[in-house]
Chain A
Amino acid sequence: MAVEVRVPSMLQKFTDGEKKVQLDSANVGELLHTLETAYPGIGHQLLEDGQLRRFVNIYLNDEDIRFLDGMATALSDGDVLAILPALAGGRR
């Protein structure tokens, strides 16, 4: 399934500055491996022992995959996947 992945600015150094990348995968877990294959190093930022890091959320369209089927969440053509890490900044 061809999906669009939105890459936060924090991780764009892995994607040669690209904000959006197109990938083909059947589910979220598979997609993250495809992402790592295409952009080595990004996987470590997102995954720990095969699980999504707890300060990183992934949204399929506008829904958090934790409330769908997690890494097994199936993808459809045209889906938009957004990666959202926690941000700390504000005061300084």
Chain B
Amino acid sequence: MSVKVYIPTPYRKITGNRTFVDAEGIDVTGVLRDLDQRFPGFGELVFDQEQELFEHVNVYVNNHEITSLQGAATRVADGDELAVIPAIAGGAGSAMTPEMVERYSRHLIMDQVGPLGQRKLIDGKVLAVGAGGLGSPVLVYLAAAGVGTIGIADFDVVDRSNLQRQIIHGTSDIGRMKVESAQDRILNMNPNINVITHTSPLTSDNAMEIIPEYDVIINGADNFATRYLVNDAAFLAEKILVDGSIFLFEGQVTTFFPGEGCYRCLYPSPPPPGMVPSCSEAGVLGVLPGTVGAIQATEAIKVLLEEGDPLKNRLLLYDALAMDFRTVKIRRDPACPLCGDAPSVTELIDYEEFCGSPFHEGPVAAAGD
């Protein structure tokens, strides 16, 4: 039987850097022995001295882990795809346990995810800025999907008025730090993940210590100062930024790739204070951030999987009242002070001054809203 085998990065030095190789055999053991013939040394990577598969090596046939099939004796057919996935040192990179294989089974059987995609999610590091309306569905879905390292940045505490939309928190969480409530919720959802909490407000002083630690940043900030700060820090740290914002019945979502446009290209300056009301002043339909946040989570997962078409150079506009989704084109502005041809913003600035407004809503936040 002629099959195709996916070779993970650590083994590619043996296969001449080839990601996929052809092999023959009637079962998994046969295929792996054939690979050892074709690429001498391969056998030592996957078989122990008793010629059994190492326990730290998982083999998948058509995205099914072989322990759930017939193990190394699992028969293969012409055209089957095998993947040989070793554990990688470090917590998030360890081999999938049977619990994880069951938990992620709906992903593992998908062509577009499969064990390799799930591995990318497990190795992925995503920061959610804000554990509120947008952060709630973002965090729950990222955790459920198995994104291995999830950061939560929020300095606020849970207020009763949050519970109309912030579904990550519950009534018993009122008064708790949002990051703690959110951390409990997502670790209960999925104990396999690593959660990092950031309880200090993001500022120009700490953003470049936090944001570079992640692959993807999800912006669910409630004010323009933080929105521009996160935009600038994500660009300077060369991180992908999934931006989302909501108002009344409307949402906007886009994904910025470093150097291909940023929030400043879209909106060069924030509105003067008071001109654009905030959600706490004007209101927001409770389910709206659910839809918009779920789209942001979808974008982050697609980016980690390297699958599909992200909202790159597109702004998605969602109107819940009309139930209308549209996209408009956005692009890098060569005159952008951050990512343009002659940038004037080369490090983080004073965003409260730039926006003429504080990072949070002053007295309301101070009162612990």
Contacts and interface: CB of A to CB of B under 8 A. Distances in A.
Pick the most buried of A62, A66, A88, A89: most chain B CB atoms within 10 A of its CB: A89
Given A55-B269, A63-B329, A19 B322 contact: yes
A55 B271 CA distance: 6
Contacts of A55: 267-271, 276
Interface stretch (B42-50, B96-104, B132-140): B132-140
Interface stretch (B33-41, B60-68, B79-87, B241-249): B241-249
Nearest to B225: A88
Contacts of A92: 132-133, 156, 162, 222, 278-280, 361, 369
B317 interface: yes
Interface string A44-56: 0100000001110
Nearest to B292: A90
B328 A59 contact: yes
Contacts of B221: 88, 90-91
Contact of A54 (B131, B267, B315): B267
Pick the most buried of A62, A84, A85, A92: most chain B CB atoms within 10 A of its CB: A92
Given A87-B247, A89-B245, A90-B245, 12 more contacts: A10-B276, A19-B321, A54-B268, A64-B328, A64-B330, A86-B267, A88-B279, A89-B246, A90-B132, A90-B219, A91-B222, A92-B156
15 contacts: A10-B247, A62-B328, A82-B328, A84-B252, A84-B317, A87-B251, A87-B276, A89-B222, A89-B246, A90-B246, A90-B289, A91-B131, A91-B220, A92-B162, A92-B278
Interface of A: 8-10, 19, 45, 53-55, 57, 59, 62-64, 66-67, 82, 84-92
